[in-house]
Amino acid sequence: VKPRIPRALCFFENRYPADFTPEQLDSAYAAMSVKRDWWESIGAYFAAGGTMERREPVMARAWRQQGLDPQPVEQPCTSTH
């Protein structure tokens, strides 16, 4: 079984709390650091040349094939005239 962040720290309804206790954060860190330091894992994933960067072309192609590729968002009118 893969380590997981405690469910109580992941799922919320109509809110996103910003007041996790140090104990809750420590429990999440401990759960995700079973094999290696979580910060190192996240760094390796998101760093330049990391896993995420290598996945982007593959993911972008899949999104395009499914019609899910990101589209530019029209800028709202900010004129006060």
pLDDT in tens, 1-17: 676 888 888 888 888 88
Within the chain, which residues score under 50 in pLDDT? Answer: none
Burial 65-77 (b: 16+ CB within 10 A, else e): eeeeeeeeeeeee
Task: Answer whether residue 14 is part of any domain.
Answer: yes
Counting DSSP H helices and E strands in the chain, the numbers are 3, 0
Number of structural domains (the chain) is 1
Task: Answer whether residue 2 is part of any domain.
Answer: no
Task: Answer whether residue 71 is part of any domain.
Answer: no
- Residue 61 is part of which domain span? 7-65
Euclidean distance between CA atoms 39 and 10, whole angstroms: 18
The model scores a pTM over 0.75: no
